Amino acid sequence: MTAPLISVVVAITGPDAHPLPVVDGLGQALVGGGYRCEFVVVLDGPANRYDRELRDIAAHWPLRIVQLEGGGLGESIALSAGVAKAKGDLVVNAPPYLQIEPDDVLLVVKALEAGADCVATWRYSRIDPWLNQLQSRFFNLCLRWIMNMPFHDLNSGTRGFRRRVLDEVSFYGDQYRFLPVLARRQGFRVVEVRVRHREEKGRAGFYGLGVYLRRLLDILTITFLTRFTQRPLRFFGYLGFTAIAVGAPMALWYLYSKFELDQSLSDKPGFVLGALLVAFGFQLIGFGLVGEIIIFTQAPNLRDFKIEDVVEGVGDADATDGGRPEESKPAEVKPAAAAPASAGAADDGSAATAVVPVAALPIEHADEPLRVRELLPGEDSRWDSYVSRHPLGTFFHRTGWARTVAEQFRHQPHHLVVEQGRRWLGVLPLFLTRSLFLGRNLVSMPYAVYGGVLADDERAQQALITQATALGRELGVGYVELRHLEARPGDRPRSPLYVTFRCELPDDPADVMARIPKKARAEVRCARDPAAPAIEGKRRESFGIRVTPDGSVDELFELFAENKRRLGSPSLPKRWFRGLVEEFGKAAVVHRAVDPRGRTLAAVMSFCFKDTVYAYYSGSHGDVNVTGVNNWIYCAIMEWAVEQGYRHFDFGRSRVDSGPAKFKKNMGFEAEPLHYEYLLLGPGAKLPEFHPSNPKLALPRRLWSKMPMGACNFLGARLSRHLP
């Protein structure tokens, strides 16, 4: 497949440009990366001072020189003129001096190849004078705050574009620096990549009042263009109603004084000011209405969106085929579904696997090769959309989980995407973890019970696993751990240590209790009812415990940490739970069980995704087992899930034959084997043995359970990073 032609446009608008090192540096980087390139140098002013450098460039590189007539036309016009003469489909705009390390231009080009329409660069870390850095950060902070845009360095002059972006996005004056903002507004896919900053020899210090005023006006202009050009009445209406709200009370007060108190208006400038504000307010609203009329008449010509892909299903293709004979209809394409939620999946890989075939690829992608790459900045929403559509996507595949892991534990993400053309065929979330106990490994997903490959077909899955193997060897890891919920095709080492428990929920909350075995049901009544019946011939006290979905992170953490200490295991830090709540909002719910005195006896944090509620983190006081609160709180969560419209309940992972596993079986759940697979890469690599079932850890667990609570929380917050 021929590499695309990269056109590098360098606009020279000032006397201090040095195009030769720019062209040599970027050209060598692009050629070294396997790309064809050309250079377009735009001269906005006298050209004679650059004759020697341009001759040297032309002797070694494909060069096109564009001389603008008159000069002083600005960078926006220079960029437009250069793009008009460029031949490449991918355009890199570079300043006339080396602003970034030349090799980092490959990051811009790869982002464009991966599907981005516009690539902004973020110079990181900055090495220019501190005052310049402060001014730039303040400028970009204002932009992010006012316009709600995710860009960190719009002053960076190195950017990448697909040609159609520059053809369709209108810009003028100093708006070239806001091109990523304008492109995003118009529906193009814009990403930001980090590049290494190179020392810039230019002006330092304050730039003068005129420069700051122009930048302020630029921000106001772009804010209006990006937020109100299709809703001008809102902009002018806000201002107009504000003016009326301030002016009308002033004017009415003076009118009241005139007609009721017989006071003269001749010496009342406040009345004039109020009347002017009211009149000005109505004028502004009128401007907005005129703008709305213009937008309405031009609406058929406005298109501020881009269609990324169109997927046409084939399952109902025979519905309108005019009664075609059954034998001539195409075979129905169905997902290879996982085993039912309440049944155990086959452990030999021979049952229905987790690779989900879908409708045939569109014709325009059919002949293109598969390509595996890492997830780019700005593609989180596309990743989450794929996970949501995939029938085997779980809550833990979401980028929000990955962001929280990266923020709280500083593990390095290496998420993989397999695509054909611009269509995604699979994803694999991966983190490089460094552990004192487990070594250096790639894990999918840390601190999660499920993860692993999501793919549309076996070919895409194999491409992801092959790339994960290559990445693991490149990073020097011992193994790659794939925490699959369902079986996957292929023969890879698996761990039989864990099982999971899931069930399908009934349609009526009242039917939840009926599905719980008799003994556990009696425990629930004991905890819940004010007057419980006798259990196995013995009278037991009733407790009247309430379960509500309004628990706090503090309550959950206290009980969770207490449980972990009793079990002899380090607890996760409280900031982890707070991070999950901040990230997922209402999708993270904390149920708490409260006795009549108001004491919280137990708490469970659940996650909601698609049609499933995952009961994940839990804790309870050690002296409350006799109350039956643990049975009751999970019964209440299932009833709540039914009321909220969820169809499945996930009771989570447990070790085979452990106490939690027996508790879940007593609640009526059946164990399903988890298919944790390993790609053993390092010398002497083997399945991990650092888990509570290992007899070698019995003594450390006993010692940990005897430690003070404060010491356990302090040490656990630091050790948890090493237990992904």
Residue 261's identity, in one-letter code, is L
Residue 576 near residue 553 (C-beta atoms within 8 A): no
Average pLDDT in the 708-716 region? 93
Burial string for 257-292 (b: 16+ CB within 10 Å, else e) reads eeeeeeeeeeebeebeebbebbeebeebbebbeebb
Using CA atoms, how far apart are residues 172 and 79, in angstroms rounded to an integer? 10
Residue 192 near residue 155 (C-beta atoms within 8 A): no
Within 124-273, strands assigned E span: 159-162, 190-195
Residue 194 near residue 124 (C-beta atoms within 8 A): yes
Model confidence band, residue 421 (pLDDT cutoffs 50, 70, 90): confident
Using CA atoms, how far apart are residues 283 and 236, in angstroms rounded to an integer? 9
- Chain segment 369-393, per-residue pLDDT in tens: 888 988 887 788 889 999 999 999 9
Q: What is the pLDDT of residue 175?
A: 63
- Chain segment 500-512, per-residue pLDDT in tens: 999 999 999 999 9
Q: What is the pLDDT of residue 463?
A: 94
Using CA atoms, how far apart are residues 433 and 320, in angstroms rounded to an integer? 53
Q: Is the full-model pTM beyond 0.85?
A: no
Residue 541's identity, in one-letter code, is E
Quote the tokens at residue 123: 């110079």
Please report where in the chains the tokens 């996957």 appear, as a residue.
Answer: 488
What is the chain's mean pLDDT, rounded? 81
Q: Output DSSP code: residue 150.
A: -
pLDDT exceeds cutoff 80 at 108: yes
Using CA atoms, how far apart are residues 405 and 407, in angstroms rounded to an integer? 6
pLDDT exceeds cutoff 70 at 367: no
Quote the tokens at residue 171: 């810009």
Residue 449 near residue 617 (C-beta atoms within 8 A): no
Q: What is the pLDDT of residue 359?
A: 37
Average pLDDT in the 318-326 region? 38
Average pLDDT in the 81-102 region? 87
Quote the tokens at residue 701: 């667990």
Q: What is the pLDDT of residue 484?
A: 94
Q: Output DSSP code: residue 667.
A: T
Q: What is the pLDDT of residue 85?
A: 85
Q: What is the pLDDT of residue 33?
A: 85
Residue 71 near residue 49 (C-beta atoms within 8 A): no
Using CA atoms, how far apart are residues 398 and 585, in angstroms rounded to an integer? 14
Using CA atoms, how far apart are residues 167 and 179, in angstroms rounded to an integer? 12
Q: What is the pLDDT of residue 538?
A: 47
Q: What is the pLDDT of residue 274?
A: 87
Its sign, for the CA torsion 548, 550, 553, 555, is: negative
Please report where in the chains the tokens 């509570």 appear, as a residue.
Answer: 692
CA 521 to chain centre: 41
Closest CA to 708 of 555, 562, 574: 562
Quote the tokens at residue 562: 């207490």
Burial class (CB in 10 A: 0-12, 13-18, 19+), 231: middle
Sheet containing strand 648-655, strands side by side:
546-548, 588-594, 600-609, 612-620, 648-655, 498-504, 671-673
Q: What is the pLDDT of residue 208?
A: 56
Number of helices and strands (H, E) in the chain? 21, 24
Using CA atoms, how far apart are residues 571 and 655, in angstroms rounded to an integer? 18
pLDDT exceeds cutoff 90 at 352: no
- Chain segment 488-545, per-residue pLDDT in tens: 888 899 999 999 999 999 999 999 999 999 999 999 999 988 754 544 544 456 789 9
pLDDT exceeds cutoff 90 at 473: yes
pLDDT exceeds cutoff 80 at 563: yes
Rg (CA), the chain: 32
Q: What is the pLDDT of residue 204?
A: 52
Burial class (CB in 10 A: 0-12, 13-18, 19+), 680: middle
- Chain segment 36-69, per-residue pLDDT in tens: 899 998 887 666 677 788 888 888 899 888 888 7
Average pLDDT in the 314-333 region? 36
Closest CA to 268 of 258, 277, 283, 260: 258
CA distances from 475 to 103, 359, 441, 469 (A): 21, 36, 9, 10
Sheet containing strand 416-420, strands side by side:
370-374, 416-420, 423-428, 454-455
CA-based end-to-end distance of the chain: 40
Q: Output DSSP code: residue 654.
A: E
CA distances from 644 to 106, 340, 505, 608, 636 (A): 48, 22, 11, 10, 12
How many residues belong to the chain? 724
Quote the tokens at residue 303: 């298109």
Residue 34 near residue 110 (C-beta atoms within 8 A): no
Q: What is the pLDDT of residue 182?
A: 80
Using CA atoms, how far apart are residues 480 and 548, in angstroms rounded to an integer? 40
Q: What is the pLDDT of residue 325?
A: 35
Q: What is the pLDDT of residue 125?
A: 75
Task: Collapse the DSSP code of 76 into the 3-class scheme (helix H, G, I; strand E, B; otherwise coil) and give the result.
Answer: helix
Using CA atoms, how far apart are residues 519 and 667, in angstroms rounded to an integer? 9
Tell me the HSE value of 397 on the side-chain side, using a 13 A CA sphere.
Answer: 30
pLDDT exceeds cutoff 80 at 435: yes
Residue 287's identity, in one-letter code, is F
Using CA atoms, how far apart are residues 395 and 612, in angstroms rounded to an integer? 9
Average pLDDT in the 547-556 region? 94
Instruction: Please give the full DSSP string across 271-288, using - where no structure is assigned.
Output: HHHHHHHHHHHHHHHHHH
Average pLDDT in the 551-573 region? 94
Q: What is the pLDDT of residue 366?
A: 56
Q: What is the pLDDT of residue 387?
A: 94
Using CA atoms, how far apart are residues 11 and 21, in angstroms rounded to an integer? 14
Q: What is the pLDDT of residue 539?
A: 45
Q: What is the pLDDT of residue 72?
A: 63
- Chain segment 242-281, per-residue pLDDT in tens: 989 998 998 888 888 888 877 777 778 888 888 899 998 8
Tell me the HSE value of 74 on the side-chain side, using a 13 A CA sphere.
Answer: 9
- Residue 603 pairs with which residues in a beta bridge? 592, 619
- Chain segment 653-688, per-residue pLDDT in tens: 999 989 999 999 999 999 999 999 999 998 888 898
